[in-house]
Structure 1
Amino acid sequence: MAESTDAPLPVAITTGEPAGIGPELTLSLAADAALPAASVAVGDPAMLAERATALGLEVTPVVCRPGEPLPAGPGVLPVWPVALRAPCTPGVLDPANAGYVIATLQAAVAACRAGQAAAMTTAPLHKGVIIDGGFSGFTGHTEWLRDACGVHEVVMLLATDRALHASRADGGGADLRVALVTTHLPLREVADAVTAERIQRVARILAHDLRDQFGIAAPRIAVCGLNPHAGEGGHLGREELDVVIPALDALRAEGLDIRGPYPADTLFTPRHLAGVDAVLAMYHDQGLAVLKYAGFGNAANITLGLPLVRTSVDHGTALDLAGKGVASPSSLGVAVALARRLADQRAG
């Protein structure tokens, strides 16, 4: 049975590294009828069928094409097909399938940009095996999507489940939304990458998308300092005095509600978070270690600044769990549901 032609556009779920847990998380959601309506997997249908059988999941992948109505019915998982480049064993990486992973991303982006998908959600991939497979410049989903969509700057935002559903009326900052000034950089390179211009670009995108995608009319953003104690007045580094504070002053002059810079070790406490809608951290682990402690498995990753909606899980490929049927699909479920909500917010 197929959906009617006036059904909502689907969320395209790229199934990620085939040796990881991405395929089985997608299958698990479908088996439990927990996959939001109008969702379609992007991956190899034969691999998905084989994985479902191995895990004892009553799911039938059914091939369809972008622009066609989605097949529906008990246990049916619609699939936009992309063929594996080489046979795959759960838990065993093969660089030969790097091109397959990239091809699933290309298919989802193309569908979003052609008006055939409302949004895309990405299951985890493995950066190292993609690089080993010949994509030497690959640094992650976020940067790849930036380049694929031809935009200059994107922002990585992670949010815990409660924050994804919070609004100004019910507290806003009661849980965590954390955006990053820099993303996948070696720590040695972070200080040089934290420029006033970059802080300003990222903060503007964050404020814009908190308004347009999350419906927060006047976002309140707290900013971490780069150094311990936010530089201790220059005694623990001058980046706050020379770069961060001037950048934040300029943003405040534009009318943005930007606060800080604050010491990161005290900002991430309930008393300080209660009055803000998002935290802007200077580098990856400064912000995401705290967020994942607070809500790992029930959080989602959102890429702001794209011409399309993209969400993702808050975890990696978990090769040690792949093929065992024990990995929790909760973060993927949160990410798909969020993609639908953000797409509807944009369309509305």
Structure 2
Amino acid sequence: MVDTTASPKRKIFISYRRADNPDFVERIRDWFAWKYGRDSVFMDFDTIPPFTPFADFIRDKVRECDLLVAIIGTDWVKSLNDRIKNSDDEDYVRTEIRLALELKKPIAPICIKKAAIPNVRDLPLDLRAMLDYNSATLDSGRHFLDNIDMILQAVEHQLERLDAWKVMAMVQNVQFDVMTAIQHYQDAADHDQWTAALDWLSRIRRSGYAPDWYPLDDYEREAKEALRLQAAAEKYHFIRSMAERAIRKPSERTRVWSALESFWQTYPGYDPDDMATQFRPMLELEEDQEDYATLVFIPVEVEEAAPFDLALLDQLDAFDESAAEDVFSPDHMAALAADLDTDPRTISLTEAEQTGILDWQN
């Protein structure tokens, strides 16, 4: 039986972890199905058609839903952290909630079986916005009916507000408002919500109303690259943890380098901490290679110049400037050069004394 007071057009997405009391979660699903109809409540274990790509189908259902119910059990945070550590195992619960937040879908967190709402430090950055929504608690026992009824009423209130917003949007936007869509894209990009940003760009492209001047292709490439870098940063974080351990335990250095090499196969060149410099293995010299560290450099011996005899300057005190032309005439200088057995050149005072150039006054 379906509650006829609820609109059948509303769609509810129930996000849960299969390790967290699946029987109790199914009981919650039954109450939502009673309220909104079974076809309007999505839960992955019984509504995915055979042979359908699981991940794509989940994302489509999140986009279609009006509200996402996030069931949080006692192992919810532990499972989240385990999936983060094992990057090869996609966490669909995280993907569901992150996408709902990016698309501004209302979130209804329900903590079951005495589980507590996660602390902000327990959540990755892309899920922390879910803490903006007040959570409800639900447990089996004599208070179950009262609590589930209160939860359903609160959800209905949220959906009524959503209906009002949709009506206003329909009145204000008979056609696709491309400028508003562009603003939504910009807001998402400014907050690094690149999945939502790419979704808005896709809507703009499908609408056919993208202005000629709008660089849609460039923005799509930018969003895809940002998503790639976000994924790289998340995986790099775990290698950073390995590096911190290797500082305390040097025997782990080889594992860090191996992880970096594997990581760079997918994200070439991504190394914001410059771990390559710290963890690249040192090259070992072969036995027949010369050990360049032992090379000896022999300095070149430079012969020191003879000191200048200052006493020679005293002999110039009585120098007669009138005789300078005779003393330093070209013929006289050439003769001096011949005595020195050299080509004509500038000579020093010592050479001048030896050749008698300073004896002109005698």
TM-score band, normalised by the shorter chain? Answer: under 0.3
User: Which has the larger strand fraction?
Assistant: 1
Query: Which structure is larger by alpha-carbon Rg, 1 or 2?
Result: 2
User: Which has the larger helix fraction?
Assistant: 2
Structure of greater relative contact order (alpha carbons < 8 Å, 6+ residues apart): 1
What is the TM-score of this pair, normalised by structure 1?
A: 0.27
